[in-house]
Amino acid sequence: MIIFVILVIFAGLIFIASWFLAGFTMTGNRQTIEEAMKWQSDHYDTSFYDRIEKNGYQITGSNGYVLNAELLKNPESTGRYVIISHGYTDNHIGSLKYAKMYLDMGFSCVIYDLRGHGENEKTFTTYGILEGRDLECIVKDTRERYPDLQTLVLHGESLGAASTIASLKYRPRVDFVVADCGFSDIENVLKGGFRSAHLPGFFFELADFGARLRFHYALKDMRPIDSLAENEIPVLFIHGAEDSFITP
């Protein structure tokens, strides 16, 4: 009986730890629009954002999930468009650091909130699985919404880069891709984070078990790199050599 009780307690602790780790990994605290704007304005010149013509709208993504988007319209009509995907916990305001560069090159910028971020309905992150499908929907919407479109580019940062790479599995009609500090798979990122926090590697196995149980998605399946097997779209991979969280 004592052994049975010990086993039940141990199993209960495993379940609680797995449930918590999955939630921490896939539903972390997101920045508000105000917090993101303050951070961007503290680090970059965002004064252009108030002056430029903007148009907010919604796009239906994967599984009917609604994504909030905004067009930053270039004053000159060049037919060039870029869809910029932000990083984890950020929102569309985080894309402003890249938008000015593209605007200066004649692009209009579509910035949006990834699922579970910004002004979207709260939900969990799948590190590219659903986000890649969402981006495919945004590409189709952009082509239908803007008939003057001639060139379409995807630019992603961190989770946005991983989501952008994951979308290539669906052969989106884009001309080229910029993937900034993306990850090949979330397993390596999380294991590295656990090591940095002096936690054992098997915590990832607990998180993966909890993700399957709680959200019905496996962390081990979150591998954007697998979407590149048959890709023919040009990709610029760029990464900071001193990035210690998502290693180059």
Bridging pattern class, strands 66-73 and 107-112:
antiparallel
Q: Exposed, middle or buried, 17 (CB in 10 Å: 0-12/13-18/19+)? A: middle
Domain boundaries, position 217: 1-30+187-221
* Cβ count near 26 (within 10 Å): 22
Report pLDDT for 7: 76
* Count of domains for the chain: 2
- Please give the backbone phi and psi of residue 220, each rounded to the nearest 5 degrees, phi first: -70, -15
Q: Please tell me whether residues 213 and 168 are part of one structural domain.
A: no
- Looking at the structure, tell me whether residues 26 and 79 fall in a common domain: no
Provide the residue-wise pLDDT of the chain in tens; the chain has 248 residues: 888 777 778 778 888 989 999 999 999 889 999 999 999 999 999 999 999 999 999 999 999 999 999 999 999 989 999 999 999 999 999 999 999 999 999 999 999 999 999 999 999 999 999 999 999 999 999 999 999 999 999 999 999 999 999 999 999 999 999 999 999 999 999 998 888 888 888 899 999 999 999 999 999 999 999 999 999 999 999 999 998 889 88
Question: 238: which DSSP letter?
Answer: E
Q: Which residues, listed in sequence order, are joined to residue 235 by a DSSP beta bridge?
A: 177
- 89 plus 181 within the same structural domain: yes
pLDDT reported for residue 212: 96
* Residue keyed to tokens 């969280």: 245
Domain co-membership, 119 together with 208: no
Our CA dihedral for 20, 25, 29, 31, rounded to 10 degrees, sits at: 180
Cα dist. 155→27, 96, 111, 180, 227 in Å?
A: 24, 12, 10, 8, 16
* Residues 135, 21 share a domain: no
User: Same domain for 121 and 202?
Assistant: no
What is the C-alpha to C-alpha distance for residues 206 and 10, in angstroms, rounded to an integer?
13
One domain, residues 169 and 127: yes
Residues 131 and 166 in one domain: yes
Note whether 5 and 89 are same-domain residues.
no
Q: Which residue has the tokens 């196995």?
A: 205
Residue 37 confidence (pLDDT): 95
* Pairing of β 53-60 and β 66-73: antiparallel
DSSP state letters, 151-181: EEEEEEETHHHHHHHHHGGG--S-SEEEEES
Whether residues 80 and 197 share a domain: the answer is no
Cα–Cα distance measured from residue 242 to residue 244, given in angstroms and rounded to the nearest whole number: 6
CATH number for position 128: 3.40.50.1820
Residues 245, 194 share a domain: no
